[in-house]
Structure 1
Amino acid sequence: MKHGGNIYQFAQQVGCKPEEVLDFSANINPEQALDPASLLPIPFGPYADPEYTLLKQALKARYPHPDGVEIEVFNGASAAIFALLRRLQPRDLVLYAPLYVEYAKIAGQLGCTLHTIDRFADLHAEVPENSTIIFVNPSTPDGRLYAMQALLEQWRQKNCTVLVDESFLDFCSADSVADYIAEYDRLYVIKSLSKFYGCAGIRIGFILAAAEAIDALKRFEPAWKLSTFDMAYMRQALANRPYIEQTRRQTAKRRKLLRQALEDAGLFETIYPGQANFLLTQLKNDDDGYLLQERLAPSRLLIRVCDNFSGLNKSHVRFAVKDEQAIAQLAHALKAIPHNVL
């Protein structure tokens, strides 16, 4: 699987129903903040509010930001990133890898010069003056949480435009860099809501930026990007405040269980420390992650081989944090794999 979460294709391959797949490939919270059946009656007749007023109020309550900083919503974080890069039209784009290969594809589509920095080896490497930076924190696919102040200052000194993707930050007890926008109006913060709130089918992401930057971005955006149902669902999910700490505690506990299962399997050279809802591994002897997937397929287990992340190869495999029962089934399946067959 080149991308996580395609349970439909996988189910067809292994001969089961999609809901029978144990999906360790997609970093989606296995718990949901809201039962859709509990939604209040939703008026589907009229057009939705094109300014998304109530949703933005709920987002501001959940993610406070300074005066002079505004928010714009999108049909998912990917749509937000694409829209912003089309608006910025960067000449030099700096990517901190490992990173989704899609970012490099965007650079090719926009005709900009691509610069890749290996954040494992040289995090504070020099960047071009006036370049556009893309940095994911916590990172994916390894889940490392970075202290951002020194990096932000480095980029500011180079007069860079900075995009920080914080789609996994809610899983950590850490502060957003959004407060820095008041001091540096070339900083953009991007967030996805589907991962933390366990609702991949509800496509909502957003950008926080200086008010003038948001106004400029909105001029290129269509009306009614989000459905009435999506907005109603997310407003109520955001209001579930106990869910936040409950999810963080539960994720930390389950991440430990997952790590132990991976260690006990004896198949992995490295299990990267991570603070998000997934763990990155590297198989011993540069073994093939696709062969590991073949061995796990009869157990209806879907994993994420990371060879389409810049800087990684098919020996790198990522596992999402799932519930205790799913982790136990993964542990059982991994232990049954002989160490010399990958």
Structure 2
Amino acid sequence: MIELAPSHGGQLRQISERFNIFSSQLIDFSANINPDGPPPAVLSTLRTRLEDVSMLTAYPDLEEVGLKQSIADYAGVHPKQLVVANGFIPLLESALRTLGVKRCLLPVPAFVEYRRSLARAGVEIEPHILSPGSNFRYDIHALVHGGHDAVLLANPQNPSGVLTTRDILLQFVSKCAERNIIVLLDEAFIDYAPLDSLTLDVEQFTNLIVFRSVTKFHGIPGLRVAYAVANEVSARALNETLPPWPITTLASCAVASALADQHFAERTRLHNDQRRAHLRTGLDALSIHAYPSAANFLLLHLPEHISADRFWRQMIVEHHMVLRDCSNYEALPSRHLRMAVRTAEENDKLVGAAAQLLPFCQRSQWA
């Protein structure tokens, strides 16, 4: 029986069991998490709060006033425009229910949970295939036309990391507004390019809902916090459809401390830009094509004679490095893998490991 790769990144337990390698020995390039870890204040906040037993014995704030204010200060929006939940999927499914979406245009390849969420909500899906030749960029004119009442897309795009500028997206949202099309915009990685976010435009465009993540950029995915930004009317409706107490008190406190560290955010963007550029240079030297990402990951296109599955497995077995298998990305051609941008030392190790594997691939004629 063929063993499939995990459907998401970061699943080291599955990898460990499949390849009989201790998870502590694996370097995880499959999950796009800040490799420097969370801001220092996160751990100190958690330790301090745990000394207060009420953090565990009292219910969380039902309206999450403190958390929403912290997010509002960070994103430059009003707390009444915010909806918070324990991850992106509950927010998306709340929006689909609240807005009564019937038919959604879905540019693919895309995050695999988009299609699953749309299907669970009973939404008819209209796939729109993006071209590798155009670096998976959105054609905003093509995305407007059709019989759909909503479009679900990401910026930066996932899995490519390619960024669509704010000006182009605003043109797109405006065209959609003229046709009563809802724009569901996933900005999970926009913290790496914050000037291109559309969070400030939700009151002007009532057809726009923006989804953002706290945990990836700030290195705290285990706390499960995400938020949506919408006009006040839509935000109120979305809040009413979510189950109560979606965020724990400890997660709320930790996230507030993370968002307050502006120096951490600036340093993270600088380091990521430097590391990603150096990594692309090393991969280019091996004839491994990396698409022009603005995020903390790269989508790789392997040379023609290389099997992505075999390369993925050999990187684990021989070098204990886990890349993101991309075989479950809809409409993504073969020979693609995705990798996170990690520390400079780890990135160099990956390039060195790939350099060792590629000649062997050529001799073995993997296909």
| Structure 2 unaligned spans of 5+ | none
Pairs aligned (count): 339
Alpha carbons 2:104, 2:148 under 8 Å: kept: no
Q: 1:137 aligns with which of 145, 155, 167?
A: 155
RMSD over equivalenced CA pairs, Å: 1.9
> TM-score, normalising length from structure 1?
0.93
For 1:129 and 1:70, the matched residues in 2 are separated by 29
Alpha carbons 2:75, 2:199 under 8 Å: kept: no
**Is residue 2:262 matched to residue 1:241?**
yes
Shift of 1:233: 0.8
For 2:81 and 2:122, the matched residues in 1 are separated by 29
**Is residue 2:296 matched to residue 1:277?**
yes
SS at match of 1:257: helix
Instruction: Note the alpha carbon deviations across 1:187-227, whole angstroms, 9 max, x for none.
Output: 10100111100111110000111111111122222211111
Corresponding position of 2:311: 292
For 1:208 and 1:286, the matched residues in 2 are separated by 45
Alpha carbons 2:49, 2:250 under 8 Å: kept: no
SS at match of 1:184: coil
Alpha carbons 1:255, 1:321 under 8 Å: kept: yes
Shift of 1:129: 5.3
Q: 1:204 aligns with which of 200, 209, 225?
A: 225
For 2:227 and 2:194, the matched residues in 1 are separated by 20
Q: 2:211 aligns with which of 175, 180, 190?
A: 190
SS at match of 1:317: strand
Corresponding position of 1:115: 126
SS at match of 1:222: coil
| Structure 1 unaligned spans of 5+ | none
Q: 2:355 aligns with which of 335, 338, 341?
A: 335
Q: 2:15 aligns with which of 10, 20, 35?
A: 10
Corresponding position of 2:245: 224
Corresponding position of 2:58: 46
SS at match of 1:96: strand
Alpha carbons 2:206, 2:231 under 8 Å: kept: yes
Shift of 1:286: 6.5
Instruction: Note the alpha carbon deviations across 1:75-120, whole angstroms, 9 max, x for none.
Output: 0112211222233331110112221233223333333321122343
For 1:102 and 1:66, the matched residues in 2 are separated by 28
**Is residue 2:114 matched to residue 1:96?**
no
Q: 1:324 aligns with which of 331, 344, 366?
A: 344
Corresponding position of 1:154: 175
Alpha carbons 1:100, 1:308 under 8 Å: kept: no
Corresponding position of 2:69: 57
For 1:82 and 1:111, the matched residues in 2 are separated by 10
Q: Which amino acid aligns with 1:95?
A: L
Shift in CA distance, 209/37, structure 1 to aligned 2, threshold 3 Å: closer
> TM-score, normalising length from structure 2?
0.87
SS at match of 1:11: helix
Tell me which protein shows more helix as a share of its residues.
2
Alpha carbons 2:107, 2:153 under 8 Å: kept: yes
For 1:154 and 1:91, the matched residues in 2 are separated by 19
Shift in CA distance, 66/235, structure 1 to aligned 2, threshold 3 Å: closer
Corresponding position of 1:105: 116
Q: 2:32 aligns with which of 24, 27, 35?
A: 27
Alpha carbons 1:14, 1:300 under 8 Å: kept: no
For 2:148 and 2:126, the matched residues in 1 are separated by 13
Shift in CA distance, 21/61, structure 1 to aligned 2, threshold 3 Å: same
Shift of 1:130: 5.9
